[in-house]
A and B are shown apart, each in its own frame.
Chain A
């Protein structure tokens, strides 16, 4: 999957799941603030990504992700391997 294709698909899935405007999901945007995630909702983000992409993000990895560019980077690496 091309990186632009992955990013677009991921953004759309997250926007739909968390009911936010997809235009607000940008590489430099804060994940929690943009998706309005509390500590419980983070589980839903990890779950929806695993369902849609087959990529499991360990909670330790997720804890280090602040902005979407970090999430994109993790996903691209995971899908490459």
Chain B
């Protein structure tokens, strides 16, 4: 695993932040000057890759590809995979990403101002495409297996991991680098702000993202990148890989309903499919990482779906978006890593800012403080615009 997020630039930092309930949310005055309704955002520095990658490699990378590079380099190192290994084995790449607005806007601005497409530069086309992350990572790491971007809105990262696992279980790949990446800049989410999706609790940034809380008033945009290396079990054993966990199942569904308003039936179907395919007793699931983004409708519908499936079992449910904001295309992958860090370190991070439940969240067990708990299986939900749903169930391997 590897990660570059607003609560840490590597796994150790992120584990500490999760443990301590640290928020990565700030107020960005630039957005206010740009006319944003909400200037709240996750904050993360752009990695300095000069000296790490050549100019010829960096020029094609938008920010989310840089985040993905750092996360992937960490993941490969932790999985004990070096360049010699990548050069001598067929390794796939399947990453979630669903926008690259910043380079598009800058290129269009240049074309309009200068009336000369040459001045856009050589990197713009590669930075602007939705598949920018996979095209960059596959060339940098010399990957020769599947090379595909998964665009499934805010479930992109989950779908990438799920589809990667399917490729492996079908014998089509031995190893796939999976993940999700999300750009963090005003242009990428300006139109999202325009539909009043964001919290306006600007006077109190770290308390703005409050999934499941009665007084939530919208999401806070976040981003970065998260990478997991998934591998066929016997293959991993044979090469002496440090095996962390097993992807037990991948459930998915589509709401077939409204483009932005989620329903209950779609997420319920995704949850049920994942549990059925995992082949486990539902009571084995010790933690649920919810999609819950801090929007009034979305959190309520997910709470209903979880209650539909789990009833009164009272399994701990939290949304790590309370600390990170909504990492969108990255979220499905990052939240698997957040859950993994909790599972490996025997705790469940607090759903910070959960002060008062509403009618639906009151039926769930949502810890507002960190709890120390050993669990061996977790379920992670990711839902997206257009009604795309994904659920992953992961089991610990000691």
Contacts and interface: CB of A to CB of B under 8 A. Distances in A.
B55 interface: yes
Contact of A41 (B50, B119, B120, B122): B122
Contacts of B119: 47, 50-51
Contacts of A19: 50, 54-55
B122 A40 contact: yes
Interface in A24-56: 36, 38, 40-41, 43-44, 46-47, 50-51, 56
B56 A47 contact: no
A48 B54 CA distance: 18
B371 interface: no
Interface residues of A, number: 14
Contacts of A38: 56
A46 B118 contact: yes
B398 interface: no
A57 to B, nearest CB: 9
Contacts of B59: 41, 44
A48 to B, nearest CB: 9
A59 to B, nearest CB: 8
Given A18-B55, A36-B56, A38-B56, A44 B122 contact: yes
Interface string B57-97: 00100000000000000000000000000000000000000
B56 A41 contact: yes
Contact of B116 (A40, A44, A56): A56
Interface in B90-124: 116, 118-123
Query: Which of B55, B59, B116 counts the most A-chain CB atoms under 10 A from its CB?
Result: B55
A47 B121 contact: yes
A50 B56 contact: no
Contacts of A43: 118, 121-122
Contacts of B56: 36, 38, 41
Contacts of B118: 43, 46-47, 50, 56
Interface string A1-21: 000000000000000011100
Nearest to A36: B56
A56 B50 CA distance: 29
A40 B159 CA distance: 33
Query: Which of B59, B121, B122, B123 counts the most A-chain CB atoms under 10 A from its CB?
Result: B122
Contacts of B123: 44
A52 B116 CA distance: 15
Interface in B21-41: none
Contacts of A50: 116, 118-119
A72 B213 CA distance: 66
Contacts of A44: 59, 121-123
A58 to B, nearest CB: 10
Nearest to A41: B122
A43 B117 CA distance: 10
A56 B118 CA distance: 10
Interface of A: 17-19, 36, 38, 40-41, 43-44, 46-47, 50-51, 56
Interface of B: 50, 54-56, 59, 116, 118-123
Closest A-B pairs by Cβ, 3 of them: A40-B122, A43-B122, A19-B55
10 contacts: A17-B55, A19-B54, A19-B55, A41-B122, A43-B122, A44-B123, A46-B118, A47-B120, A50-B118, A56-B118
Given A19-B50, A47-B121, A50-B118, 4 more contacts: A38-B56, A41-B56, A44-B59, A44-B122
